[in-house]
Structures are given as C-alpha cells and as structure tokens.
Amino acid sequence: MSFNGIPVRLQGFVSNRPPDQLAQWFHQKMGEPLMDDRIGNKRVLGRLQDDAYITIEIEAQAKGSRGLVAVTLMSEIPKNQKKNEELNQYWLSKMPPGSRLLQQVLSQDGKRYSVHLTFSNTYSAGVNRDAVLRALKNEAYELEDGPATKSASVNSGSQQALYFNGKNKQAIALVKRVETGSSIVVLNLITSLEQIK
C-alpha cells in the first residue's frame, strides 16, 4: 500500500492486555529510542529500525486493546516519488482548475489494484460532477445508469455517488458540497492487474 506516495505495510491486531500494559510490552521488545505519544484516545509508538520506520497505534476496546502496525521502508520513498507525482498531476489536470489533492492511497489486493484520490476545490458539485464524467469517459469508463446518475447536475449542499464500469475495471466517484462552501471529490479506481499489463 502507498499513502500519499509513501509505501507502507499495515497489519491490525487485537490483544487481551489493556493499552498501557501493551505499550509497555512494545517498549521492552522494540528498545530505545522509542517515540511515545497520545493522539486522541490512541497511544502511538514509533521507532526507526534499520531501514524501516515502525509505527504502532493502540486503543482500548471492550476486552483489552486493538491496534495497527505500520512499517515504512525509508529507502523505497524516493523510488516511488516520480511515479506518484506523475499520477497526482495527471488526475489533478482532469479536475477543475485550482483543485487540490488532499489524499492519495494506492493498494493491491490479489489481482486488484486500487487508486483512491481525494480532491477539494471551490467549484459547485455540478461542475465537479461534469469534470469527473469527462475524465472517466476519456479513460474508457461508462457511467452506470441508475437513480443516482440520471440528473445532469447536483444541487448545492448534496452529494452524489457515480458508478462506472470498463473492461476489467470499475470506478466510484463521490461528489459532495460541504458547509465551508468547497466541494470534495473522491475517486476510487479499481483495475484488474491483467488490464495494467
């Protein structure tokens, strides 16, 4: 998985130990120096070990704790930078001028490759919907017909989900106008790896 251009491996876990006791166990196993912080209701530990930065989030649950381990290989970050920049610029060019990319997540699950992009801008939901329709049509996606896609524009203050299909690929777009007066566009593009080859 890649998050905002940074490759990362994620693994969830559960434990019957309470968070503070579990954090102490990680302190003993991982050694020092170890970053230890609280963010909201989570305990966050972090340590650079060889080429990997390991982050552990721990939070309480009904019986013990649950957590998430993230491992980032530092040497992989520069290798992916150019490819991620190109991907970001490509999709930003499809959005209305002045759009900002808020988040990029790339992941692979078996033979399915997913690109998840979140954009923000000050245009109406209708302008953003039209931009999404043009962009995905150019990528050989077809809009599925259904109640959510029949109207030509989206009323201000609402949201609309659009579903697309293509050969060995699917896409979902969410267009939403938020209270601050800006619009959020979320694109999730799922492609079969056979299609990428």
Q: What is the pLDDT of residues 167-181, one digit of tens each?
A: 989 999 999 988 888
Q: For the residues of 58-127, what is the DSSP string, one character each?
A: EEEETTEEEEEEEEEEGGGHHHHHHHHHHHHHHHHTTSPTT-EEEEEEEEEETTEEEEEEEEEESS-HHH
pTM of the model: 0.64
Give the SS3 label for residue 138: helix
Give the SS3 label for residue 153: coil
Is pLDDT of 155 > 60? no
Q: What is the pLDDT of residues 6-38, one digit of tens each?
A: 777 888 999 999 999 999 999 888 888 888 888
Note the pLDDT of residue 146.
56
Number of H helices, E strands in the chain: 4, 13
Is pLDDT of 150 > 60? no
Give the SS3 label for residue 21: helix
Alpha-carbon distance of 169 to 197, in angstroms, equals 13
Q: What is the pLDDT of residues 103-147, one digit of tens each?
A: 888 887 778 888 899 999 999 988 999 999 999 999 999 998 754
